[in-house]
Amino acid sequence: MTTRLGILRDSEQKMPDVTFTVDGKKLTAPAGTLLIDACRKAGIEIPAFCYYPGLSLQAACRMCVVRQEKVPKLQTACTTMVAEGQSFITESEEIAAARKGTIELLLGNHPLDCPVCDAGGECELQDMNFKYGAGESLYTEAKRHRDEQQWSPAVFYDRPRCILCYRCTRICGEGMDVWALGIENRNASSVIAPNLGNRLDCEQCGMCIDICPVGALTSGAYRYKTRPWEMNHVSTVCTHCGDGCKVTLGIRTSTEGAEIIRGDNRDKSGINNDFLCAKGRFGFDFVDHPDRLTKPLVRNSAGTLEPATWEHALRIAATKLKEIRDTRSGAAIGVIGSNRTTNEENYLLQKFARTVLGTNNIDHERTTDYAAFARALAGHPGKTATLREIGRAPAILLIGGDPTNEHPLLAWQIRTNVRLNRARLYIANSKPIKLDRQAKATQEIPAGGYKNLAEFLDSGQSDFSKAVLAEESLIVIFGEEFRSAAVDELVAWGLKRGNIRFAYLGDHSNSRGAADMGLFPDLLPGYVPVTAPGAFAEYPNLPSTHGRTLPQMFEAAANGELGALFVVGANPISRLELDPEALRDTLVIVQDLFLTETAALADVVLPAASLYEKSGTVTNSFGDVQLARKAADRPGVRPDFEILVRLAGAMGVDVKTLVPFAHGSVTGDLGQSRGAQAGEADRHSVWLEANGLEPKLSPFDSLALLDEIQRLVPGYAPSESFDRFSLFAGNDVPSELGNSPGFVPISTLRGPDLIAPNHDGLFTSATLGRYCRGLTELEQHQETVKEAVAAAD
């Protein structure tokens, strides 16, 4: 690897603690710790532009200079490794003067166009200048100028603003293993340069933009849209893939409500820490896509969908559902849930289906076989690995898949773990993947040969299997290549070996949550069989026979056996290539963001809020549960949770039986769903949260259901690790798959045909991805540059 400086910190190598003095305070840290790290840990901030934790050292900005006792020159804290008995001064007149001098030099050529700079207000150079710089400048020479460049739809580069800290080149190379940015020329003519001369051929993750301490690298999605201080920042969870990155959305009040201006990773507290891919960073623009549904639609007598009031649409939907239920029984209704709605919504949906509609005909577009995974692990808690654990595991076996494209955060965790902790990565795949570069060993597997892998490893005949078997502790990561029996076998193999934990990859932001929350015809939340409901016996009128799977619902519809199909945030017509004709005689009700192929067939379409417009918890592929917070606000749309409650209400149900809000005598404040910026009710909720109270005052407050989920769903029960305060503070808390009771597979409800993985890449995201214009542009850009590169070869 071309890290210019060979200093890699090896976390496996534990050095003895040493004691040293900083500004008169005695500090202790392992020998060899960088002084800047040791100080930051002790709350002593040492300024730096080029130093960035986890990236190679540069010593280029000279801002972190400190005085070391008995050393003649000022030393850079970013390259000084602490040793016993050393003594340092980090703030003094001399040091302040040095920093001031350096900033003054830096500001010479810097354009000082702060009033129009995107970074103005959140610029490290401004902050540093505020602290150390001079109020006046003696620079009277001409500034160097170069025109701004657009490298891709996502990345713009303004050379004069660049302070050459080399964070971008390092995050792109060392962090992303993309190496698309370099340095050209020398002296004051030095510039950052993209790999195609003036264009970028890369993964378009935008990491370079976020890591830029100034406004040199700006985002195509954000530039010149606002001043940073006009935004509020809401830390929530990305709505796209199954990795569950925390994303910070920059929100600005608009005439429409609250619009999302920017996505970034400013909240580094998430599993993803520094990381965010193109989807997380730029894939929020679907929210204000012109095709976004903002009014309910009802099919009129002429057969066309026309806008309707919420009351009207809900009344139609409720009346018809009730009628079909009462005349033809619940078995004549099918319900399809979503991979992107929250756990509370999914839970409510299945509860609604089972207790209000009276049917177990509920399913979702399964992207991987979580049911098989849960069954295989039943009774074996502690055998799954969180995404954080993957980031520090000593050894990882990755079977199949292509995390770089389909699970970018997983790929980042693995890469970072290999780079910083020298983790050993083993890859068994039918094709070469980019992570091979980090692998200690790779093993080619025939495309259909994954099911024999355990046997192959056990044989111990290849160097690969010997190395894998020699690992004391191993995390095995696999995906949809393993389904039903193959999952059982692989997990059984791992359980037998004892030192193995698993991660099983699904596609979307809450695919795992959809499975965990029981969007199955045979399984209740927590993979509890409907035939043996256990604690769920408290559900009134719970049907005890299993229902229809998604394909079976369509078969039933085609045969005239399905009176109604209720689809929440799913597009099975397009995704599973089902025949729309099957639904000719079926009442179809769809809740979605857009008029998808499925919604277009509906009799009633209810415009739903996206994940960015509501609150609730989601569970990523690894079982990490996180709180999604409402960021944007759009008039006309309602969270799926609220729609379900209203629908149930319109059907005459006492909604308290569905949502246990308003315990005791407290009555609801219906302002909860108005959003985090919307005034009184929200300040109330903020106060409640701040005082450790849950704001479960409204039937539309989805978190009111979290109690019930935690009470009834195995794996989500309160525990030391599944800590509600930690969850509400914005941390990821692990759910537990091994607590499920286990169940007998029902052959008709299983089978590989139920699993339809989407294999979304860096710029696609199933149906939702079509409405992410920024991602489409990036994909087109990448296609164009790839063609150009191919033509040049």
By beta-carbon proximity to another protein, the closer residue of 74 and 495 is: 74
DSSP three-state, residue 336? strand
Among candidates 8, 9, 27, 7, which has minimal Cα distance to 18?
Answer: 27
Q: Does 182 bind another protein (CB under 8 A)?
A: yes
Residue in 102, 384, 404, 626 binding another protein, rule: CB under 8 A? 102
Checking phi first, is residue 278 left (phi over 0); if not, alpha (psi -120 to 50) or beta? alpha
The interface region with another protein, picked from 133-141, 261-269, 284-292, 386-394 by CB under 8 A, is 133-141
Q: Does 55 bind another protein (CB under 8 A)?
A: no
Among candidates 357, 362, 344, 709, which has minimal Cα distance to 541?
Answer: 357
Q: Does 57 bind another protein (CB under 8 A)?
A: yes
SS3 content of the chain, % helix, strand, coil (to 5): 35, 20, 45
Q: Any residues with CB less than 8 A from the CB of 317 and at least 6 apart, and which?
A: 589, 604, 606, 647, 650
By beta-carbon proximity to another protein, the closer residue of 20 and 282 is: 20
By beta-carbon proximity to another protein, the closer residue of 179 and 722 is: 179
Residue in 104, 124, 489, 555 binding another protein, rule: CB under 8 A? 104
Q: Does 109 bind another protein (CB under 8 A)?
A: yes
The interface region with another protein, picked from 55-63, 322-330, 467-475, 756-764 by CB under 8 A, is 55-63
By beta-carbon proximity to another protein, the closer residue of 348 and 420 is: 420
Residue in 38, 46, 106, 754 binding another protein, rule: CB under 8 A? 106
Shortest spacing between CB 194 and another protein, in angstroms: 8
C-alpha to C-alpha distance for 508 and 243, rounded to whole angstroms: 8
403 contacts 503 by C-beta, under 8 angstroms: no
Residue in 18, 55, 193, 713 binding another protein, rule: CB under 8 A? 193
DSSP three-state, residue 566? strand
136 contacts 100 by C-beta, under 8 angstroms: no
Shortest spacing between CB 61 and another protein, in angstroms: 6
Q: Does 237 bind another protein (CB under 8 A)?
A: no
Q: Does 129 bind another protein (CB under 8 A)?
A: no
Number of other CB atoms surrounding residue 434 within 10 Å: 15
Shortest spacing between CB 99 and another protein, in angstroms: 10
C-alpha to C-alpha distance for 42 and 635, rounded to whole angstroms: 47
Q: Does 138 bind another protein (CB under 8 A)?
A: yes
Shortest spacing between CB 781 and another protein, in angstroms: 17
Match 């009129």 to its residue by tokens: 300
Q: Does 186 bind another protein (CB under 8 A)?
A: yes
Q: Does 131 bind another protein (CB under 8 A)?
A: no
Q: Does 163 bind another protein (CB under 8 A)?
A: yes
The angle that helices 640-650 and 343-351 make with each other, rounded to 10 degrees, is 20
By beta-carbon proximity to another protein, the closer residue of 3 and 87 is: 3
Q: Does 105 bind another protein (CB under 8 A)?
A: yes
Residue in 13, 14, 24, 188 binding another protein, rule: CB under 8 A? 188
By beta-carbon proximity to another protein, the closer residue of 59 and 467 is: 59
By beta-carbon proximity to another protein, the closer residue of 181 and 287 is: 181
C-alpha to C-alpha distance for 29 and 19, rounded to whole angstroms: 7
DSSP E strands in 90-127: the ranges are none
Under rule CB under 8 A, how many of the chain's residues touch another protein?
A: 50
Phi and psi at 48, nearest 5°, equal -165, 145
β-bridge pairing 587-592 and 564-568: parallel
Q: Does 541 bind another protein (CB under 8 A)?
A: no
Cβ-in-10-Å burial (0-12, 13-18, 19+) of 151 comes to buried
By beta-carbon proximity to another protein, the closer residue of 164 and 703 is: 164
State the DSSP string of 488-534: HHHHHHHHHHSSEEEEE--SBTTHHHHHHTT-SSSEEGGGEETTS-G
Q: Does 792 bind another protein (CB under 8 A)?
A: yes
**The two structure tokens encoding residue 203:** 């993964």
Shortest spacing between CB 526 and another protein, in angstroms: 50
C-alpha to C-alpha distance for 610 and 236, rounded to whole angstroms: 12
Match 């795992």 to its residue by tokens: 512
Shortest spacing between CB 127 and another protein, in angstroms: 16
By beta-carbon proximity to another protein, the closer residue of 70 and 73 is: 73
Residue in 144, 146, 268, 312 binding another protein, rule: CB under 8 A? 144
Residue in 13, 187, 541, 665 binding another protein, rule: CB under 8 A? 187
The interface region with another protein, picked from 184-192, 296-304, 485-493, 570-578 by CB under 8 A, is 184-192
The interface region with another protein, picked from 183-191, 474-482, 517-525, 661-669 by CB under 8 A, is 183-191
Shortest spacing between CB 277 and another protein, in angstroms: 21
Which string of x and - marks every residue 71-90 that binds another protein (by CB under 8 A)? --xx----x-----------
399 contacts 449 by C-beta, under 8 angstroms: no
Q: Which residues pair with 296 in a beta bridge?
A: none
C-alpha to C-alpha distance for 38 and 32, rounded to whole angstroms: 10
The interface region with another protein, picked from 137-145, 271-279, 283-291, 303-311 by CB under 8 A, is 137-145
By beta-carbon proximity to another protein, the closer residue of 169 and 621 is: 169
Cβ-in-10-Å burial (0-12, 13-18, 19+) of 565 comes to buried
By beta-carbon proximity to another protein, the closer residue of 112 and 495 is: 112
**The two structure tokens encoding residue 783:** 């296609």
Shortest spacing between CB 8 and another protein, in angstroms: 12
Distances (CA, A) of 759 to 405, 512, 517: 9, 16, 23
* Interface of this chain with another protein, residues 365 to 394, rule: CB under 8 A: none
Shortest spacing between CB 195 and another protein, in angstroms: 4
- Amino acid identity of residue 197, one-letter, is G
Shortest spacing between CB 143 and another protein, in angstroms: 10
Q: Does 189 bind another protein (CB under 8 A)?
A: yes
By beta-carbon proximity to another protein, the closer residue of 194 and 250 is: 194
C-alpha to C-alpha distance for 202 and 778, rounded to whole angstroms: 10
Shortest spacing between CB 15 and another protein, in angstroms: 16
* Interface of this chain with another protein, residues 2 to 41, rule: CB under 8 A: 2, 4-7
The interface region with another protein, picked from 57-65, 209-217, 350-358, 510-518 by CB under 8 A, is 57-65
Shortest spacing between CB 4 and another protein, in angstroms: 7
Q: Does 112 bind another protein (CB under 8 A)?
A: no
By beta-carbon proximity to another protein, the closer residue of 199 and 630 is: 199
C-alpha to C-alpha distance for 489 and 505, rounded to whole angstroms: 17
State the DSSP string of 583-624: GTTSEEEEEESS--TTGGG-SEEEEBP-GGGS-EEEE-TT-E
Shortest spacing between CB 404 and another protein, in angstroms: 18
* Interface of this chain with another protein, residues 621 to 660, rule: CB under 8 A: none
Q: Does 139 bind another protein (CB under 8 A)?
A: yes
By beta-carbon proximity to another protein, the closer residue of 54 and 551 is: 54
C-alpha to C-alpha distance for 103 and 159, rounded to whole angstroms: 17
DSSP E strands in 325-471: the ranges are 333-337, 362-364, 395-399, 424-429, 441-444
542 contacts 518 by C-beta, under 8 angstroms: no
Interacting residues toward another protein by CB under 8 A: 2, 4-7, 49, 57-63, 65, 73-74, 79, 98, 101-102, 104-106, 108-109, 138-139, 141-142, 144, 163-164, 179-190, 193-195, 197, 792-793
